[in-house]
Structure formats: structure tokens, C-alpha cells
Structure 1
Amino acid sequence: MATVELTADTFEKTVTGNDIVLVDFWAEWCGPCKRFAPVFEEASEKHDGVVFAKVDTEAEQQLAAAAQITSIPTLMAFRDSILVFAQPGALPAPALDGIIEQIKGLDMDDVRAKVAEQQAAQGQQDS
């Protein structure tokens, strides 16, 4: 499966419409981004059922700002529409494969429970 380009118009639909979505935030001028691109592309060929998406931070500045991207490349991973991983920096192939396997192995009921706890705690702080 090849990577797909995401825009502000397609980001939310892609994240909510798929089980696992990895998003690479990058820019053309970024050396580490260029070195990470083939690793990301190769992983997309190996991991069926995972959507590999890219966001050009130059073309999609508002989307990058909304995602609070301060360093590129930044990799974000969503499972069941929940952000489960976010890390700046280019990863070597074995590390990327390991992260994907960890994401596939997540107990999403446990993740949703933790998210609910955090939201409840945040709600109490805001009161």
C-alpha cells in the first residue's frame, strides 16, 4: 500500500475512517524528512491494514499548527481515531516496525478507559 497525501480537508476523514493511521509530517527542505521517506514508504508495503499518510507542513501550515507540530519529521499514529503515538525525529526501519507492532497490539478498551480518566481529571481541573 502506498502512502497517501493528507490535507486539512482529508485529515479527519482519514483518521476516523480507518483502524490504524500513521501520519508523517514533513517538508521538502528537511534533510531528515527526505531520509525517513523511503523507510516510511517501505513500511507501507509491509503492513497491510495500516494507512500510511503524509502531511506536507509547508502546503498545510494550518493543519501542522493544529497538530502542534514544532519539529519535523514528526510521526503520529492513530488507532480507532485516538492519538496513541507522537514523536519527532526520523526513525530507523526496525524502530518503525516495532512501533507499528505495538500499536497493533494495543488493548483499545484499556486505552479508551485511560483517555476517559484523563478527560474526567481535566474536567475537574477546569471546574
Structure 2
Amino acid sequence: MAVVSLDGRSFGPALVRPGILLIGWWAKWCAPCCVLGPDVARVAQQHPDITFALVDVDAEPELAEVLGVQTMPALMVFRDGFLLLNHVGPVPEPLLEDLVRQARALDMDGVRHEVAEYRASNARVRIGQHGG
């Protein structure tokens, strides 16, 4: 699969799609960012079932601000809408491959279960704080 560009309109639909979404945040003026794009493109060729995307922070400043991207390059890895990694700094191609491997290996049923338990326990704490 080719690397896609995300903007304010396409980000939401890409995020809610099941599967792995790897996003590289970059800027034309950022020297290390010039390496990120080609590395992401090479890894994307090996994993056509994964969505690989790049976001130009100068073209999408609002999206970068909403997601807290302040330093480039940055890399985010999502799976089934869950943020797995938010990394700032260069990411060499072998590490990208390792991140893909780790994202694939993650037990998402276990993650969903843990999140549900956390939310339920957090709800009980809030109810208790309000005298309920």
C-alpha cells in the first residue's frame, strides 16, 4: 500500500478504521524528517495491510495542535483506534519494522478488557466522590 497523506478531514476516518495506522509527522524544513518519509514508504511496501500515513505539520497545523505534535519528526502508531506509541525523533527503518511487529503481536482483546475494567473502576470512584 502506498503512503497516504492525512489532513483534518481524513484523519478521523483513518483512525476509526480497524487495524494498524502508522503516522509520521514531518515538515519540509526539518532535515531528519527528510529521512522519515522514504523509510516509511519502504516499510509500507512490505505491509500492504497496514495504513501508513504522513502529515505535513505546516499544511495541517490544527491537526498537529490537536494531537499535541510540537517537535518533528514524530511518529504515532495506532491499532483499532488505540494509541500505542507517540515517539518524537528519528525512527530508523529497522525500528519501524520492529514497531509493526509489536503492533501486530498485541492482544487487542486483552487491551479492550483492561480499558473496560479501568473505565468501570474509574466510574465507581467518581460515583463515590459524589456521595452516590
TM-score with structure 2 setting the length: 0.87
The SS at the match of 1:10 is helix
- Shift in Å, 1:113: 2.5
Residues 36-47 of structure 1 aligned to structure 2 (within 5 Å): 36-47=36-47
Q: 1:118 to 1:61 in 2, by over 3 A?
A: farther
> For the pair shown, which has the larger CA radius of gyration, 1 or 2?
2
C-alpha contact (below 8 Å) 2:4/2:52 kept by paired residues: yes
Question: For structure 1, which segment, 110-119 or 59-68, has the greater mean C-alpha deviation from structure 2 after superposition?
Answer: 110-119
Give the residue type in structure 1 aligned to 2:75.
L
- Shift in Å, 1:106: 0.4
**Residue deviations 1:61-97 (CA, integer Å, cap 9, x gap):** 1100111112111111111111111111111111110
**Residue deviations 1:34-83 (CA, integer Å, cap 9, x gap):** 01211111001011210001111111111001111121111111111111
Which 5+ residue runs of structure 2 have no aligned equivalent?
Answer: none
Question: For structure 1, which segment, 14-23 or 50-59, has the greater mean C-alpha deviation from structure 2 after superposition?
Answer: 14-23
- Alignment match, 2:25: 25
Q: 1:26 to 1:122 in 2, by over 3 A?
A: farther
The answer as to 2:107 corresponding to 1:107 is: yes
- Hey, what's the Cα distance between the residues in 2 that align with 1:116 and 1:76? 23
Q: What RMSD, in angstroms, separates the aligned Cα atoms of the two structures?
A: 1.8
- Alignment match, 2:82: 82
- Shift in Å, 1:120: 4.7
- Hey, what's the Cα distance between the residues in 2 that align with 1:89 and 1:115? 28
